[in-house]
Structure 1
């Protein structure tokens, strides 16, 4: 899943949960499109032309797309870049957490026929996006409930 803000923009739901993230990425339409299109669409930030890029973590291979943190001994500039990169990736984690908190079936083992799991996930993402677009109330304690393994939303 790839997000923009708290909404999901592109879903890749064709693999089971035990497939490595890098494999899922390489099989996705996003990866195929991004490697072809991203360098061609730079943006300007404070007068500097910067190419757009996807963000990834250490699970992804070092490729032009996605961009991930520098490792080993890093310069102050690389460290600063890493801080910015990490803070941006938090948006993805937040969106995933809000999705699981809203749709508790995604926070545990999904007990339905495997062939319906992709449709269930896609449906939850679509409903999540609709709710986020309408800025419906989200209770932060729902996130705590999911982290603690509770399956019923708190009413307070």
Structure 2
């Protein structure tokens, strides 16, 4: 599991958990999850979104899929199929943001083909290999290098499998309000010209 920034760099990784552990459980038990919950990480302070001061100050957030809980600092899609057009646009925009994470893993795997197959090493050595790969990935990722690796990663059949759903995940009112504010923003001042044709 990883936290990736907008430049495809790994900012936090959690290795060593086995597949039987749910993704939400892995996150909750990680240093990142604990630090976000206890507010002990150095997260930038809330700020207004561009041209949307009327929405108030918004927290910096991470994006996840349905396997993760909705938190004021962790956005997940609206559940269900019969969503309003505004909620579908929010889900689309969140999905586009999550693609950065998938692309970062694709770039990592494109650089080191060992990640394309089963790794026959002791689990502890696999953990070390993954951490080393992420560190080297960050080191080698230069500002002009992103596009060529992205082009290679985007080939058919190279996308990562979706994370499985954990279930319900009841959210706090504060978390729901933050998601609603982002939904409003993505459907007004923060809209992009092509989003309506994508949902």
Q: TM > 0.5 between the two? A: yes
- Contact residue 66 and residue 76 of structure 2 kept, 8 A: yes
Larger mean Cα displacement after TM superposition, 111-120 or 41-50: 41-50
Name which of 66, 69, 72 aligns with 2:74.
66
C-alpha displacement of 1:31: 1.0
- Larger RCO (alpha carbons 8 Å, 6+ apart): 2
Are the equivalent residues in 2 in contact too, given 1:35–1:64 (CA < 8 A)? no
Q: TM-score, normalised by structure 1?
A: 0.80
Structure 2 SS opposite 1:44: coil
Task: Kindly provide the CA deviation profile for residues 5-43 of structure 1, in whole angstroms up to 9, marking residues without a partner as x.
Answer: 211000111312443211110111111122233898212
Aligned to 1:103: 112
Distance of aligned partners of 1:123 and 1:135 in 2 relative to their CA distance in 1, 3 Å threshold: farther
SS in 2 for 1:130: helix
Preserved CA contact (<8 Å) 2:70 2:76 = yes
Give the stretch that moved more between structures: 89-98 or 49-58.
49-58
Structure-2-length-normalised TM-score: 0.64
1:55 & 1:142 partners in 2: Cα distance?
21
Of 35, 50, 58, the residue aligned with 1:50 is 58
Give 1:84 deviation, angstroms: 1.4
Aligned residue in 2 for 1:154: none
> 2:152 matched to which residue of 1?
141
RMSD: 2.7
Cα deviation code 1:101-126 (max 9, x no counterpart): 11111221111111211111010001
Structure 1 gaps, min length 5: 149-156
2:95 is matched with which residue? 86
Query: Is the CA contact (8 Å cut-off) linking 1:101 and 1:146 kept in structure 2?
Result: no
CA 147–88 in structure 1, closer or farther in 2 if over 3 Å, else same: closer
Aligned pair in 2 of structure 1 residues 130, 69: CA closer, same or farther (>3 Å)?
same
